[in-house]
Amino acid sequence: MKKQKKKVGLHELYQKDPIEADRLLWGRESDPDSRRGFLKKGALLAMGAALGAPMVHAANFPAGMIPAGLADADQPFQIPGKHPDLVVLNDRPLNVETPAHLLDDKITPGDKFFIRNNGLPPEESEIDVNTWTLTFEGEAVRQKKSYTIQELKDRFEEHTYQLVLECGGNGRKEYNPPAKGNQWDVGAVACAAWTGVRLRDVLQDVGVKSNAVYIGFYGKDRHVSGNPEKTPISRGVPIEKAMMEESLIAWSMNGQPIPYQNGHPLRLVFGGWPASCSGKWLTKIVVRDRVHDGPKMEAPSYRVPCNPVAPGEKVKDEDMCIIESMPVKSVITYPRSGASIKLGQQLPIRGHAWAGERSVEKMEVSTDFGATWQPAQLEPAANRLAWQHFNAKVSFPKKGYYEVWARATDSEGYAQPMILPGWNPKGYLNNACHRIAVKVG
């Protein structure tokens, strides 16, 4: 059984950065110089809900301090708008994963959608949907052009697609030697229904030159250093991916505004590729006549060795290739690992499978560590680049400890490996079979 991840408590969060804790926990804009906080209505409501009563003199409460009513509480850090059982891996920048059993919904709700930030989100006071502007420029556009969100809605056809977003480092914690970075388990993945306009429609309106090679994005997020001259992340995709039907400039997730930590009010969504390509808090797109060279495009970020290497081997930057389509993968979402049943009962299994730019053609489960496999029922995808749902029923011959393993095979015949795939320095692309523990009897 996998070790339970530690959740970040209030005291630990405030010890790391009390002002940032104030902002993340309550949505409070603090003035560290005066040690006073400017509490919006939402922050007052959040504090009152946590304390069990409104804080009467809230305007006088010092910034960066835990209310005494919570000081003795051993409760984990709660992110506004997110499920309380999400697991915080890092709080600056905020990185939060979803336990596998919370991914059981066919379409991932906003409160269960993982968070992968490279910088700090813009202050909520900086976000005005009515004035937010997206600008297009670069060596390979015919004209520099800007659009408000309302202009995007008015001028271009709206589209909705279910699209899988997965962090390139999902599953990193299993690599050995250990790879640096957030130690994701299996929960840095989600599939929501995204609504917006096709990127290609807007690019055609702007005018793309024949020498276009790549697009890159810039957002309003801030570098963790606080230096306004530094950009936390600016990645992108080849022009061919940008022009695909499902590549979106999105303003909605599941029929609602995109959650704040997931890119509100505007973001890119490129299903099937590392989620780092899908820029959040989107303000600018550059159309390049070369591979984009923004922060996090350089090796070793989001790159793997072009050829297999031995575990722990150092790899030269020039021998690293940019990750594009993600590999075939699956996750068991029911039951939760550690389930117990009585001998003679059948255990229902369900989950999701996805395969980057490909589709999943076959799904199997095993109860004997992969010695034998039985087919699972596999549903077709809602649309290209959405995940596919599977279910099965398994039986056990006698009392004892078992594991249920899941294995997906894609449309090109590639199956998930039973053990870790090839090691790489940054711990990307772990698509080994997901497994859960079951006790019978």
Name the pairing type of β-strands 115-116 and 145-148: unpaired
70 and 184 in a single domain? The answer is: no
248 and 154 in a single domain? The answer is: yes
66 and 130 in a single domain? The answer is: no
Rg (CA), the chain: 23
269 and 177 in a single domain? The answer is: yes
197 and 274 in a single domain? The answer is: yes
153 and 60 in a single domain? The answer is: no
The domain total for the chain is 3
User: What predicted TM-score, i.e. pTM, was given to this entire model?
Assistant: 0.85
Strands (E) in 220-346, as ranges, are 236-238, 248-253, 256-257, 267-269, 282-288, 303-305, 320-322, 329-334, 339-341
Query: Is residue 1 domain-resident?
Result: no
SS3 of 172, please? helix
Cα dihedral 63, 67, 70, 75 in deg (nearest 10)? -10
pLDDT for position 363: 98
Query: Is residue 194 domain-resident?
Result: yes
Which residue, chain included where needed, has tokens 């905020």? 94
280 and 383 in a single domain? The answer is: no
428 and 372 in a single domain? The answer is: yes
197 and 338 in a single domain? The answer is: no
Q: 40 near 28, Cβ under 8 Å?
A: yes
Give the closest residue to 47 by CA, choosing from 77, 76, 26. 26
Bond prior to 327 in cis (omega within 30° of 0) = no
The span from the CA of 326 to the CA of 340, in Å, is: 34
pLDDT for position 78: 73
Last residue of a domain, one of 302, 322, 342: 322
pLDDT for position 41: 58
What burial letters (b/e) apply to 275-286, b meaning 16+ CB within 10 Å? bbbbbbbbbbbb
150 and 298 in a single domain? The answer is: yes
Last residue of a domain, one of 322, 351, 366: 322
Last residue of a domain, one of 288, 322, 356: 322
Q: pLDDT tens digits, residue range 365-394?
A: 999 999 999 999 999 999 999 999 999 999
pLDDT for position 18: 72
The CATH number linked to 243 is: 3.90.420.10
Average pLDDT for runs of 10 along the chain of length 441: 50 67 66 48 64 69 67 64 91 91 98 96 94 98 97 98 98 93 96 98 98 98 92 98 98 98 98 98 98 97 96 96 98 96 96 98 97 98 98 96 97 96 96 96 90
Q: pLDDT tens digits, residue range 3-42?
A: 444 455 666 666 667 777 777 666 665 544 434 445 555 5
Give the closest residue to 361 by CA, choosing from 382, 385, 379. 379
309 and 333 in a single domain? The answer is: no
131 and 231 in a single domain? The answer is: yes
The CATH number linked to 359 is: 2.60.40.650
Containing domain of residue 148, as a range?
Answer: 124-322
Neighbouring CB atoms inside 10 A of 301's CB total 19
Query: Is residue 383 domain-resident?
Result: yes
